[in-house]
Amino acid sequence: MTLLGLYNYWIFILLLIVGLYAVLVKGNYVKRMIGLGIFQSAVFLLYITMDKVEGGTGPIMQGVPEPGQLYANPIPQVLILTAIVVGIAVTALGLALAIRIREEYGSIEESDIRRLDHES
Amino acid sequence: MIALIGLITLTLVAVAAIATVMATNLFVASMWFGIFSLLMASNFFILDAADVALTEAAVGAGVSTVLFMGALALTGEKEAIRSRVSWFPMAVLGVLALALFVATFQQPMLGDPMAPVHQHVAPWYLEQTPKLINIPNVVTAILASFRGYDTLGEVIVIFTAGIGVLSVLSFKPKGRQSVSSEALAAKVRGVQHHSILRVVGKLVIPLLMLFALVVQFHGKYTPGGGFSAGALFAAAVMLYGILEGADRSAKAMPEKVMLRLAVFGATLYTSVGLVCMLLGGAFLDYNVLWPDPVVGQYFGILLVEFGVGLTVTTVLVMVFNAFANRPTY
């Protein structure tokens, strides 16, 4: 049972590797942005895993908290809350660049673009 | 029981991530990515992070899926299949995975109250928030007040990214004709010919906007705040654009006005900080805004969160309109 306490970290590793695989190996720029999104989500998962306190609740204090009431750690939540929205802004910028590349080269595959650059 | 649900959703998250990367049709991949984000959001909720879950559901499953589809309409949805896979990146990934796996055995178990992260700073925030700021949601208190500097930086980053998208897409390819105006009209018209979708979808839009306003202004008491509210409001506008045509959403939310509002949101945040300085406090020290420091904190957080919500909404709406109304070249 103690090993299951590490399950979140293992899923974090899997997502990190899957996301990085898409970024490194895939040649399609939109696919790479998706891979970057998965990579980001892996980091989000790591941080949110940190915040959990056994027997605690979300960090919202309704009324006067009872003595001994445990709360989840709010700091990782704050960091990730803002990071999610910054992440979508970055994704939007990457997709805009992919659109422009497609308009100039007629393709968003890296192999095609390398070939076209080589020919010109 | 909760732990079991957590295990199942985490496993599903992993399955969805692998399916996303395996799919060679990018439309299918972006749909899988939306499912992935929604599962991730439910998993955040299980881990006691309600604010983050709300934001991830609105941003990851809602806005980002729409943006990917908008981009795919312009770039094509087929991915070229590569038969040759070079061994170097695979070897790097394998080593990295192994190193991280070994490192996990030194990590604190999930939910361990004695973990180092819970020993420093966090207890102080949990203890002092009721005294200094007196709002129930500690996440909002830290976001808008204790760590107001960081959040100001994030807002500027989002604003900059929005400007970046607009300037990248302001270029037009030279010497190439865009597709005919009929084809563009068919693209921006969206799903107007599906009456059931339109009627049902229209019912959702006002509720979604109302919910966004609740999340925005009630975020001090319940999960929420400017970031999630902004994403929800933008999602409502995007739904309108999909149902009624992107030209209409661009007309309802014109880029000129949106850009000014985005600047206004970021400026509002900064000027609250400057007013605090003029009243004799430090930058973003809301205590001086009112004779009673706790009331000062209340107004400071309200204004700052409004600025955040405004900037996030307008930037996301501008990006959607720019993607959806662009002709294919």
Is B289 an 8 Å CB contact of chain A? no
In this structure, of A48-57, B8-17, B183-192, the range with the lowest mean pLDDT score is B183-192
For A75, the token pair is 């700091």
For A73, the closest of B17, B29, B118 (CB atoms) is: B118
A:B CB pairs within 8 Å: 293
CB atoms within 10 A of CB B186: 12
For B172, the token pair is 């037009």
> Taking residues B91-104, what's their average pLDDT?
94
Is A26 an 8 Å CB contact of chain B? yes
Tell me how many degrees the CA angle B245-B61-A101 measures, rounded to the nearest 5. Answer: 65
pTM for the full model?
0.92
Per-residue pLDDT of A50-82, as tens digits, reads 988 888 888 888 777 777 788 999 999 999 998
- Grouping H, G, I as helix, E, B as strand and the rest as coil, residue B282 is coil
Query: 1.10.599.10, 1.10.287.3510, 2.30.30.240, 3.90.470.20: which CATH number matches A7-52+73-119?
Result: 1.10.287.3510
Given a cut of 90, whether residue B151 has pLDDT beyond it is yes
Per-residue confidence band for B180, with pLDDT thresholds at 50, 70 and 90? low
What residue spans define the domains of chain A?
A: 7-52+73-119
pLDDT of residue B112: 86
Query: Nearest residue on chain A to B166, judged by CA atoms?
Result: A96
Average pLDDT, chain B: 90
**B positions 210-249 inside 8 Å of A (CB):** 221-223, 225, 227-228, 230-231
Per-residue confidence band for B80, with pLDDT thresholds at 50, 70 and 90? confident
**Which of A89, A109, A30, A110 is closest to B28 using CA atoms?**
A30
**B positions 102-161 inside 8 Å of A (CB):** 104-105, 107, 109-113, 115, 117-118, 121-122, 125-126, 129-130, 136-139, 142-143, 147, 150-151, 154, 157-158, 161
> Taking residues B289-303, what's their average pLDDT?
91
Q: A77 to chain B: which residues are within 8 Å by CB?
A: 49, 51-52, 139
Is B258 an 8 Å CB contact of chain A? no
Do residue A80 and residue B157 have CB atoms under 8 angstroms apart? no
B270 vs B176, more confident: B270
pLDDT of residue B175: 67
Measured CA to CA, the distance from residue B128 to residue A49 in angstroms comes to 24
One-letter amino acid for residue A46 of the chain: L
> Taking residues B212-218, what's their average pLDDT?
93
pLDDT of residue A41: 95
ipTM metric: 0.94
DSSP A28: B
pLDDT of residue B95: 96
Measured CA to CA, the distance from residue A26 to residue A33 in angstroms comes to 10
Measured CA to CA, the distance from residue B23 to residue B45 in angstroms comes to 28
Query: Nearest residue on chain A to B86, judged by CA atoms?
Result: A25
> Taking residues B253-265, what's their average pLDDT?
94
Given a cut of 80, whether residue B55 has pLDDT beyond it is yes
User: b vs e for A90-103, b when ≥16 Cβ sit within 10 Å of the residue's Cβ?
Assistant: bbbbbbbbbbbbbb
Distances B4 to B10, B11, B14 between C-alpha atoms, Å: 10, 11, 16
Measured CA to CA, the distance from residue B207 to residue B216 in angstroms comes to 14
Reported in sequence order, the residue ranges of chain B that DSSP labels E, i.e. its strands, are none
Given a cut of 70, whether residue B28 has pLDDT beyond it is yes
For B46, the token pair is 């299980």
- Grouping H, G, I as helix, E, B as strand and the rest as coil, residue B84 is coil
Dihedral (C-alpha) B227, B233, B236, B241: value to the nearest 10 degrees? -100
Do residue B17 and residue A38 have CB atoms under 8 angstroms apart? yes
Do residue A82 and residue B227 have CB atoms under 8 angstroms apart? yes
Distances B243 to B109, B167, B198, B248 between C-alpha atoms, Å: 47, 27, 6, 10
